[in-house]
Amino acid sequence: MKEKAAYLKGLIDGLGIDENTKEGKVIKAMSELLSEMAETVDSIDEDVTHAYDQINDLSEELEDLEADLYEDEDAEDDSDDSDDETEADDDDDNADVAGEPYYEVACPACGKTVYVSEDDLDAGEAICPSCKVAFEVALEDPEDDEAAENDGPVQYEVTCPACGATSVVDEEALLDGDPVCPSCCKPLDFEVTEE
């Protein structure tokens, strides 16, 4: 624009217009005004170009920040999703554990508590997660437990040779010394049959 204004001024100067006339004064003033306006417009154009450059730089920095921010949020979302999946898996595992009976046993190798499942019992073997030692597992027979509970001291049926009375004598009484017949109080010479 400055170049065009300079070209017009050159044309006016080339016409040889008398600057002392009214028309000459107006044309000269217009030429100067065009030159000043051209300089101002060029200055504004430079400022606008500089502002655009700065805006472009800021825009690129903002895009980088947004990319970093959204990348972090995506990573957090992925982490949250994986945490949710892990929690869901844990819930499923816990549901499996809750649905299946487990038995606590002490590892014979290290003494730590091991949780034995029905599958382990069926296999007859479990592996300690602490020391990795395999050991045999089996449920006790409830009948054996009942028999052990019902079994008191071992007793023997004894027939007194003196009076012929039959009595039941605990093994403990037999081991303590010579038992006597509760009917006639004579020593028992007996043959034992376990009851």
pLDDT, tens digit (0-9, with 9 covering 90-100), for 52-82 = 999 999 999 999 888 888 887 777 776 666 6
The per-residue pLDDT for 191 is 47
Q: What is the pLDDT of residue 95?
A: 45
Beta strands 193-194; 113-117: pairing state: unpaired
The contacts of residue 70 (CB under 8 Å, 6+ apart) are none
Q: What is the pLDDT of residue 162?
A: 77
* pLDDT given for residue 192 in this prediction: 45
Which tokens go with 37?
Answer: 């306006």
CA distance 182 to 163: 10
- How far lies 31's CA from each of 3, 8, 38, 95, 118, in Å? 13, 7, 11, 93, 106
Percentage with pLDDT > 70 across the chain: 71
Residues in Cβ contact with 29 at an 8 Å cutoff, skipping those fewer than 6 apart? none
Low-confidence ranges of the chain (pLDDT < 70): 78-100, 140-153, 156, 174-177, 188-195
Q: What angle do CA 29, 33, 38 make, to 5 degrees?
A: 150
Res 121: pLDDT: 77
Closest by CA position to 5, among listed 49, 29, 38: 38
Enumerate the H helices of the chain as residue ranges: 2-15, 22-99, 118-123, 142-150, 171-176
**Residue 82: predicted pLDDT:** 64
